[in-house]
C-alpha cells in the first residue's frame, strides 16, 4: 500500500517521496485514515515505527485544507513529555510541511540548575567516563554520542577498562538492537552507548528509567 492511497495531498506526498518513504508502516496505515476522518486515536508502537508521522501527516493535511488561523490563534497543540521530543515533533512538522503555507513554534521550559559539566580534552573523554562510572559506582548509565563509529570505539575503550558496554545505533540490525536493549533492561550491560537512533526515544518503561537507571549525557565528538 503506497502513501498515495491514504488521501494525502501532493505537497505532502512530494516530501515523502524526497525522503524515500514509499509505504506506510502498520501504525501509519491505521492511524492516518482515522485522524483524517476526525476520529480520536489512541495508539502505541515501538520506537522507529513512524509514530510521529502517523499523526503529523494527517494533521498537516487537515490544516492545509482548513481555514487559516486568526491572529494570535493556534489551530493544533501537540503536548510531549520531554523537551527533546517537542523539538523532534517540531522538526517533523517543518520537514513534512515544507511545501505547505503553515507555521509552527516550539515552546518549552528550562532545566534545573543542578542536570553539571566537566571540561576535558577530547582524548581523555573515555577515561573520564570510566572514572565517573567507577568512582560513583553507577550500576548502569545511558551515554549519548554523536557518531556511530564513535559509539563503537567508546564501547571498545570501556571494555579495555573492564566495563561491560554495548553500542546502540542505526548501523545495527533490528535483531541486534533488540538484543542489546533487552540485555540493558536485564542489567546484563552496564553502559549503553547510543547515537541518533536513541535520540528518538528508547523503548524502555518510564519507571525503569527513573528508578533503576543513571542517565549520563556525555558528548563525545
pLDDT in tens, 118-163: 888 888 888 999 999 999 888 888 888 888 888 999 999 999 999 9
**Which residues does the chain have with pLDDT short of 70?**
110-115, 196-221
- Could you tell me which of 95, 63, 64, 66 has the C-alpha nearest to residue 77? 63
At how many degrees (to 10) do helices 125-135 and 148-160 cross? Answer: 50
Pairing status of strand 165-168 against strand 214-216: unpaired
How much is the pLDDT for 172?
Answer: 84
* pTM attached to this predicted model: 0.55
Per-residue cell: 18: 524526497
CA distances from residue 20 to 28, 29, 80, 94, 131 in whole angstroms, order as listed? 15, 17, 27, 17, 43
Amino acid at each position: 500500500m503506497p502513501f498515495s492511497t491514504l488521501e494525502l495531498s501532493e505537497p505532502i506526498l512530494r516530501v515523502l517521496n524526497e525522503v524515500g518513504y514509499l509505504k506506510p508502516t502498520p501504525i501509519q496505515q491505521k492511524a492516518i485514515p482515522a485522524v483524517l476522518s476526525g476520529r480520536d486515536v489512541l495508539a502505541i508502537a515501538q520506537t522507529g515505527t513512524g509514530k510521529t508521522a502517523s499523526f503529523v501527516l494527517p494533521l498537516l493535511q487537515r490544516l492545509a485544507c482548513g481555514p487559516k488561523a486568526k491572529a494570535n490563534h493556534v489551530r493544533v497543540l501537540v503536548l510531549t513529555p520531554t523537551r527533546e521530543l517537542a523539538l523532534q515533533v517540531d522538526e517533523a512538522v517543518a520537514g513534512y510541511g515544507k511545501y505547505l503555507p503553515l507555521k509552527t513554534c516550539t515552546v518549552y521550559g528550562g532545566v534545573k540548575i543542578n542536570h553539571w559539566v566537566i571540561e576535558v580534552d577530547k582524548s581523555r573523554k573515555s577515561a573520564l567516563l570510566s572514572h565517573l562510572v567507577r568512582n560513583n559506582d553507577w550500576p548502569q548509565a545511558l551515554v549519548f554520542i554523536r557518531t556511530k563509529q564513535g559509539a563503537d570505539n567508546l564501547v571498545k575503550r570501556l571494555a579495555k577498562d573492564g566495563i561491560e558496554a554495548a553500542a546502540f545505533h542505526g548501523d545495527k540490525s533490528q535483531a541486534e538492537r533488540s538484543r542489546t536493549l533487552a540485555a540493558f533492561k536485564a542489567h546484563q550491560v552496564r553502559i549503553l552507548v547510543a547515537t541518533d537512533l536513541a535520540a528518538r526515544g528508547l523503548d524502555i518503561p518510564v519507571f525503569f528509567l527513573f528508578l533503576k537507571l543513571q542517565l549520563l549525557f556525555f558528548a563525545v565528538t
